Amino acid sequence: MSEKMALFQENLLLFLMMILTPKLVSSHDRHYSPPSASRLTDLFPHVLFDHGFSTFFGGSNVKLLNNASMATLSLDKSSGSGLVSKNKYHYGFFSAAIKLPAGLSSGVVLAFYLSNADSYPHNHDEIDIELLGHDKRNDWVLQTNIYANGSINTGREEKFYFWFDPTAQHHYYSIIWNSHHTVFLVDNIPVREYPRRGAFSSVYPSKPMSVYMTIWDGSDWATHGGKYPVNYKYAPFTVSLAESEMTGCISSSTSKNNPTTQPSEPVSSCSKSSASPSSDPVDGPDFVTLSKQQSMAMDWARSKVMFYSYCKDASRFKVLPPECK
C-alpha cells in the first residue's frame, strides 16, 4: 500500500469517527437564555453558617469565611466534609448559592438535601439535590431525587445538564417542600415539581428533616461502578457556599420515656389549629401552586436540559410508579 493511500485511509477513518461518535453535551457548549421566573430567593433572609449549621463531618475541611456569611467544603484523599442544620424543619424553603470546583471532577458529589435518617433509620424521608462530577469530561450534572418511608429502592431520579457553567460563579439551588408539592429550582427556575396527591401520597416526605450540605467521593455510585473514580491528583476539590436560606416550620420532637428511642409525634412551630391558622411561610399563594410563569419556565428547563427521568425508564420499571401516569 502506498504512503499516500495509507494516509488517505487514516484521515478517512478519523473523519468517520468524528461524525459517528455522539457528541457529549456540555454546559460549556450551551448558550441558552433562560426564561424569567419569580425570584423566590429574594423573599427570605440569609442564614449565617455558624448560626444555622454545625459541622457534620470532616471538620478540618470545613471553612467559614466573611464572618460566616460564606463557607467552603473540601474533599481530599483523607476525607470529605459536610454541614448539618441545627434545626429540623417540617416544610420550608431551603436554598444556597453554590459554586462548584472546576477541572476534572469525575466521582465528586456535592449534595444539598433534606433527610431524617438520624431519627428514622428504617423508614426515613429524603429530598435530594445532587451535583455530580461528570464521568467523561470537565462538566457537572444535576440529579434530583425524592422518597419517603424508606422507599430508597424505588428511586425517583431525574437528571439535568446545566444551561450555564456551574464552576464560573455562584448559582442558586433551592427546594420548596410543603403539604402541596415539592419543587426543585435552579436560579429560581423550577426544573421539577413532585405533587402530593392521590395514589402516591404515601411516598411523599412528611416527617421533619434536617438540611445537609456535603461533598464526598461517590465514585462507586456515581460513575458506573467506579469506572471513572475520583482522581486525587487534582485534590482538594473545594465547593464555595453562600447566601444560605432556611425558612420553615422548626420542629421539635421528644420521647416521653427515653430520649434515645424513636421520637414521638413532632411539634411544629407553625402547626395549624382551630384557634390559630397556619403560620407556615411556604403555605401561601406563592408556594401552593406554580404560577403560569413558573410552569412555562419549568417546561423550558425540562425540554432543553433534562436527559433522564425515571418515568421514562421502562427497562427499570416493569410497571411505572403511579405518579408517572
Among this protein's residues, is 126 annotated catalytic?
A: yes
Q: Which residues have CB under 8 Å from 96's CB, separation 6+?
A: 112, 172, 173, 174, 213, 241, 242, 243, 244, 245
User: CA-to-CA distance for 79 and 73, rounded, in angstroms?
Assistant: 11
Q: Are strands 158-160 and 140-147 parallel, antiparallel or unpaired?
A: antiparallel
CB under 8 Å to 225, separation ≥6 — which residues? none
Which neighbouring-strand residues pair with 216? 109
Q: Identity (one letter) of the amino acid at 260?
A: T
Grid cell listed for 224: 458506573
Check if the beta carbon of residue 111 is closer than 8 Å to that of residue 131.
Answer: yes
State the cell numbers at 143. 440529579
- In the set 126, 158, 193, 323, the catalytic residue is 126
Q: Which of 10, 130, 157, 243 is catalytic?
A: 130
Residue 157's nearest CA partner among 142, 174, 176, 172 is 142
Helix (H, G, I), strand (E, B) or coil at 123: coil
Q: What does the alpha-carbon distance between residue 114 and residue 92 come to, in Å, rounded to a whole number?
A: 11
> Is position 10 annotated as part of the catalytic site?
no
User: What are the CA-CA distances from residue 78 to residues 74, 131, 215, 225 (Å)?
Assistant: 10, 21, 13, 21
* Nearest-angstrom CA–CA distance, 75 and 62: 10
Active site residues: 126, 130
